[in-house]
Structure 1
Amino acid sequence: MNSNGEKSPFTLTVLYTTDVHGNVLPHHYANNEPSPTGFARLAPLIRAQRARHEHTLLLDNGDLIQGTPFTYYYSRFANEAPHPMIQILNELGYDAAVLGNHEFNYGMDLLNKAVRESSFPWMAANIVDENTGEPYFGRPYLVKEYPGGVRVGVLGLTTHYIPNWEHPRNVKGLAFRDACETAKLWVKRLREEERVDLMIVSYHGGFERSLETGELTENETGENQGYRICMEVPGIDLLLTGHQHREIDGADINGVRVIQAGGMGMDLGMAQATLEWENGAWRVAAKDSRMLHQGEFVPDPAIVKIVSGIEEGTQRWLDQPIGFVEGDMTITDPMIARLREHPYIEFLNRVQMEAAEADISCTSLFDNWSPGFGSRITMREIVANYIYPNTLKVLRVSGQDIKDALERAATYFEYADGVAQVSAAFSNPKPQHYNYDMWEGIEYELDIARPRGDRVVKLEKNGKPIDPAGEYDVAMNNYRAVGGGEYPMFKDKPVVRDITVDVSELLANHIMEKGTIQASVNRNWKITANGVEIVTE
């Protein structure tokens, strides 16, 4: 307050991380090569920014505790110890965190343990107890009061599409309400009852429309509602987003300043709001947002110390030799591995078929960094290739369902001027290679020069056309089995068998049992353009 009794302008600096996915130390677990990721890199930047700005708020926007061999090792073999990712946020003094969809991957016991160990609240206003309807994690929002009486509200929201991906046992007892509709209720309450002067929504979800034109950029499944929230929920000043692993800053939608920090701990998001005292009330006078990147740095010693024990255990576990490969199962070009059957994909499907006792299987090459298997296999190769904690299901589906799924998979490709490329739907706003499936146990051909929806030109089983009305048992991961990746033909189909062992563990067990595995393919499928195979001998 100045000499005239007027309150001085107030500036709040919001720092936030999102989609860190268990990245702490700046290296790739596949090969221990340097990587520009992780909390050990971000921590010095976070500490410096908090020291530089008088009034700060530090938030995590979800997908924190899953995503690397480090967090997998902890969840499976070291979970009696305090959760290292929570210890990191406690050490850095986070004010709050929002639930991400991947927080549920390791089950509710581990998630509840993480929440209990946190010195900050976890927020998800739209994840409620299915019996009481109350927010399950207790705190739907955070209100902090700063000097001058400035009241800042932060509402936490999570993409409500989680039941379409997650194993039912991992979300038992929970109901996931529409994020946008929930925002309408709670933002109104925060404005009217909590009398907040600055309204922040931290949403683990992204944007379903172009920020510039408002045109739809994906199917309106409800997975991402950032644009809709800005357009339909009055009273929001700042919207922090995530889930899509994009970098968005300096953008406004309907007067709301929006930001999305990139994933894996590569970026620190920063948003600032300046409030001025006017006619007896605080008014937001200016808003800004930008991405902060760490340059030269020394890994934060406190963070390194927190993770050192579990990191050592992780590295020992990853280097355990479990078997050998006869032949070549390495992946040198991921695009070619998707255009023509690769020994690694064939192996993965064969293991799924064996474990699930099914004669049809589908799987995908999750990203463009999967190395395949060298001649000597360790757990490092397993987790470098199979990066998700998926389990298996066997669904009973129709022949038409299989054809529809193949047509969906065929949209992965665009074909023009004699070149096959990844379509925009699978590459923008984030890569979705994991949504392109390759099948074993059937024979099929996809002609990607043909119009979408009419690309399956051959579909047989044992040399005979698949009956559209016939029933077939198919092994697939739990994400796909609930329709994840825009495969609605699988949603709510009868589950014949449920294999609850992680697929990565199934792979390891198979390799250890065999000792040596064979790199081979049976060429049961091919990708063509105008009837000519795109990849030839």
Structure 2
Amino acid sequence: MNSRRAVAWAGIIVALLVLAPRASAAQVAPVEIIIAATTDIHGRVRGWDYFADTAEGGRGLSRVSTIFDSLRTAAPGRAIFVDAGDFLQGNPLTYVASRTGFAGPNPVIAAMNAMKYDAGVLGNHEFNYGLPYLDRTLAAATFPLLAANVRRIDGKRGWPPAAFFDRGGVRVAIIGVTTPWAMVWDKLNLDKKLEIDDIVASLQRAVKDARAAGAQVVVVVAHAGFDPPAGADATLPGVATENPMSTVANEVPGIDAIVVGHTHGQVAEATINGVLMVQPRNWATSVAVATLRLERNPPVAGPAGRDATTWTVMAKRGTIIPSAGHAESQTILDLSAAAHAAARTYTTTTIGRTAVAWRSDSSRTRDTPIIDFIGDVMRRSSGADVASTAVFSTHIRIPPGPVTVAQIAQLYPYDNFIRVVRMSGTMLKAYMEQSARYFKVTGTGDAMRVAPDPAVIGFNYEVLSGAEYTIDLTRAVGDRISGLRVNGKALAPTDSINVALTNYRASGTGGYGMVVDAPVVRDNQAEIRQLLIDEISKRKELKPADFFTESWRITPPA
């Protein structure tokens, strides 16, 4: 640990020790309760980059465990440890652990058990591998998983809305909620099995119930983010808001603090309508600590003549503790050793070779072989006329030489599968007009400048394979796509074609609501990443000529 970070961390511990309650005969001292939180772990149990097959110093539950131990020492009997969801999916470790051939305990749950988490919340990615897998995996958890806005309708037991803890003589309620958009992204796994209700309405009930049950402090742990700027959040008919936590703070009375997740941001401290808001960084990169200072109120006569103890929250503050610089817990390393070895065996497997370098650095501004490889495999394997794929990252590079599973997993990091839908020419053009919103144009003529629109996330930019088109940035947003052709023929508005999408995009997310009601031709349950791995394994050599046809362009060149 470097000296500056050590001093900062020591200052946090000293503050907790100095402000710890000290009882006196005259009065009861104030009590400080801390809520230590992680979120969006996505399988980062230990400090290891499975794509580069090298140690990684800035994250991992193995380092968070060391932080938790220090917090327990600094605030004995006054700390609650929570996670805001998305822990079971997200990297090769969790992928291998989810496969039927893996015999060991789930490494994430094993680590969280050892770290003595008090509660967790279901994130949308917890549903990615289906409810049977989720049920089996969570059965081993020694802490409750909370979901106040989730209702199971498949006849099986659901998840409790809240958990209660006594810390320093104060009854604390932790209430969990998750984004309703899991119903959209994992519709195939969840439809007719559970419902995810509106977060705001659900919390209005859950907070009222928690207070009625005697909670003197209420903390919401949410797998949902702060409200986005007006117009920036995706909307679909009948689906509640994805990220409403600012609205929650403003409209739901009785909440003392909120732990925010889902959006992969980091907020040390924000206050909305008197509610403390904190958000730890994703991938176990930091721990957010919410500290609540309470003072005991004068005794009030309770039932049977006994005095009822009540408390008032006098002060709140938030702190971020980075994982970087903290030692890894040997206990967590040992618990995850078998899964770690299996993940490394999987990712380092050589599946073929290439004689040339493949790069994605310009794949959002021109047609490139590396993205055509994805689209062409999707199109051929599904039998569709056209395939659409996102450019997930512009930092992918596969050098000449062996091609490994890790390189393909980095190119295609998500566990998506193919859904073929029937689109009209009008719908496909509208779809690509949405993609073209990625480019923000300022000025005209020689003063024209093009840059990514910060309101459009990069992975919401889509590229077509099997179609020809031009993105004309001199034209207005919504009218930039021209020359759209399929199979060498201009696509008329009334033409009908089969388009291979990911299940994620077919759900309408990212502003692509026009495809929600498109007839589904087939659901291909094969994972796209595995299709890419199989294609290289079959061919033995990855050649641009086998996949690349320059079929789209931007004018003027971006």
Q: TM-score, normalised by structure 1?
A: 0.92
SS in 1 for 2:364: helix
Please give the alpha-carbon distance, in whole angstroms, between the structure 2 residues aligned to 1:41 and 1:13: 19
Amino acid across the alignment from 1:468: P
CA contact (8 A) 1:25 1:41 kept: yes
Please give the alpha-carbon distance, in whole angstroms, between the structure 2 residues aligned to 1:373 and 1:65: 31
SS in 2 for 1:184: helix
SS in 2 for 1:425: coil
Please give the alpha-carbon distance, in whole angstroms, between the structure 2 residues aligned to 1:373 and 1:483: 35
**Match among 473, 493, 513 for residue 488 of structure 1:** 513
**Match among 439, 443, 450 for residue 464 of structure 2:** 439
Q: 1:374 to 1:264 in 2, by over 3 A?
A: farther
Amino acid across the alignment from 2:252: V
Please give the alpha-carbon distance, in whole angstroms, between the structure 2 residues aligned to 1:312 and 1:209: 40
CA contact (8 A) 2:50 2:343 kept: no
**Match among 131, 140, 157 for residue 161 of structure 2:** 140
Matches within 5 A, 1:499-514: 499-514=524-539
The count of residues paired between Structure 1 and Structure 2 equals 514
Amino acid across the alignment from 2:258: L
SS in 1 for 2:163: strand
Please give the alpha-carbon distance, in whole angstroms, between the structure 2 residues aligned to 1:225 and 1:190: 20
Q: Superposition RMSD on alpha carbons, in Å? A: 1.9
Amino acid across the alignment from 1:444: Y
Amino acid across the alignment from 1:297: H
Structure 1 position 316 matched with structure 2 position 345: yes
What is residue 157 of structure 1 aligned with on the other side? 177
Please give the alpha-carbon distance, in whole angstroms, between the structure 2 residues aligned to 1:269 and 1:347: 41
Q: 1:327 to 1:209 in 2, by over 3 A?
A: closer
Please give the alpha-carbon distance, in whole angstroms, between the structure 2 residues aligned to 1:501 and 1:237: 45
Structure 1 position 272 matched with structure 2 position 272: no
What is residue 3 of structure 1 aligned with on the other side? 25
SS in 1 for 2:218: strand
Structure 1 position 424 matched with structure 2 position 454: yes
SS in 2 for 1:259: strand
Amino acid across the alignment from 2:540: G
Please give the alpha-carbon distance, in whole angstroms, between the structure 2 residues aligned to 1:415 and 1:46: 47
Amino acid across the alignment from 2:465: E
Q: 1:52 to 1:147 in 2, by over 3 A?
A: closer
Structure 1 position 248 matched with structure 2 position 267: yes
Please give the alpha-carbon distance, in whole angstroms, between the structure 1 residues aligned to 2:154 and 2:332: 39
Cα deviation code 1:474-502 (max 9, x no counterpart) = 00111011112221011132111111011
Please give the alpha-carbon distance, in whole angstroms, between the structure 1 residues aligned to 2:399 and 2:245: 40
Amino acid across the alignment from 1:523: E
Cα deviation code 1:326-361 (max 9, x no counterpart) = 443233x2xx11100110110111100111011200
Q: 1:288 to 1:404 in 2, by over 3 A?
A: same
CA contact (8 A) 2:356 2:400 kept: no
Please give the alpha-carbon distance, in whole angstroms, between the structure 2 residues aligned to 1:58 and 1:163: 28
What is residue 29 of structure 1 aligned with on the other side? 50
Matches within 5 A, 1:139-288: 139-148=160-169, 150-170=170-190, 172-191=192-211, 193-209=212-228, 217-219=232-234, 222-280=241-299, 281-288=310-317
Q: Please say which of residues 279-288 and 217-226 is displaced more in the overlay.
A: 217-226
1:387, CA displacement in angstroms?
A: 0.6
CA contact (8 A) 1:218 1:425 kept: no
Which runs of 5 or more residues in structure 1 are unaligned? Answer: 427-431
Amino acid across the alignment from 1:218: D
What is residue 383 of structure 1 aligned with on the other side? 409
Amino acid across the alignment from 1:420: V
Please give the alpha-carbon distance, in whole angstroms, between the structure 2 residues aligned to 1:21 and 1:373: 27
1:467, CA displacement in angstroms?
A: 1.7
SS in 1 for 2:526: coil
Q: 1:466 to 1:59 in 2, by over 3 A?
A: same
1:2, CA displacement in angstroms?
A: 3.6
Please give the alpha-carbon distance, in whole angstroms, between the structure 1 residues aligned to 2:384 and 2:270: 49
**Match among 326, 332, 335 for residue 297 of structure 1:** 326
SS in 1 for 2:270: strand
1:169, CA displacement in angstroms?
A: 2.6
Structure 1 position 526 matched with structure 2 position 549: no
What is residue 479 of structure 2 aligned with on the other side? 454
CA contact (8 A) 2:431 2:512 kept: yes
Please give the alpha-carbon distance, in whole angstroms, between the structure 1 residues aligned to 2:314 and 2:412: 49
Cα deviation code 1:21-79 (max 9, x no counterpart) = 00122232211244322112222112112211131000011000111111111112544
Structure 1 position 464 matched with structure 2 position 500: no
Q: Larger Rg: 1 or 2?
A: 2
What is residue 409 of structure 1 aligned with on the other side? 435
Q: TM-score, normalised by structure 2?
A: 0.88
Structure 1 position 362 matched with structure 2 position 388: yes
- The sequence identity of aligned pairs, in percent, is 30
Please give the alpha-carbon distance, in whole angstroms, between the structure 2 residues aligned to 1:3 and 1:328: 75
SS in 2 for 1:169: helix
Structure 1 position 113 matched with structure 2 position 136: yes
Q: Please say which of residues 313-322 and 31-40 is displaced more in the overlay.
A: 31-40
Q: 1:239 to 1:207 in 2, by over 3 A?
A: same
Amino acid across the alignment from 1:412: Y
What is residue 376 of structure 2 aligned with on the other side? 350
Please give the alpha-carbon distance, in whole angstroms, between the structure 2 residues aligned to 1:163 and 1:415: 35
CA contact (8 A) 1:349 1:363 kept: yes
Amino acid across the alignment from 1:341: D
Please give the alpha-carbon distance, in whole angstroms, between the structure 1 residues aligned to 2:404 and 2:473: 37
What is residue 39 of structure 1 aligned with on the other side? 61
Please give the alpha-carbon distance, in whole angstroms, between the structure 2 residues aligned to 1:279 and 1:458: 77
CA contact (8 A) 1:42 1:294 kept: yes
1:412, CA displacement in angstroms?
A: 1.1
Please give the alpha-carbon distance, in whole angstroms, between the structure 2 residues aligned to 1:111 and 1:371: 34
CA contact (8 A) 1:344 1:373 kept: no
SS in 1 for 2:95: helix
What is residue 127 of structure 1 aligned with on the other side? 150
Cα deviation code 1:57-116 (max 9, x no counterpart) = 000110001111111111125443211100000000000100000111112122111210
1:127, CA displacement in angstroms?
A: 1.0
Please give the alpha-carbon distance, in whole angstroms, between the structure 2 residues aligned to 1:241 and 1:517: 43
CA contact (8 A) 2:31 2:293 kept: yes
What is residue 423 of structure 2 aligned with on the other side? 397
Please give the alpha-carbon distance, in whole angstroms, between the structure 2 residues aligned to 1:312 and 1:71: 12
Please give the alpha-carbon distance, in whole angstroms, between the structure 2 residues aligned to 1:87 and 1:459: 52
Amino acid across the alignment from 2:41: V
1:218, CA displacement in angstroms?
A: 3.1
Amino acid across the alignment from 2:453: S
1:436, CA displacement in angstroms?
A: 0.8
Q: 1:166 to 1:181 in 2, by over 3 A?
A: same
What is residue 429 of structure 1 aligned with on the other side? none
CA contact (8 A) 1:107 1:171 kept: no
CA contact (8 A) 1:155 1:201 kept: yes
Please give the alpha-carbon distance, in whole angstroms, between the structure 2 residues aligned to 1:145 and 1:226: 26
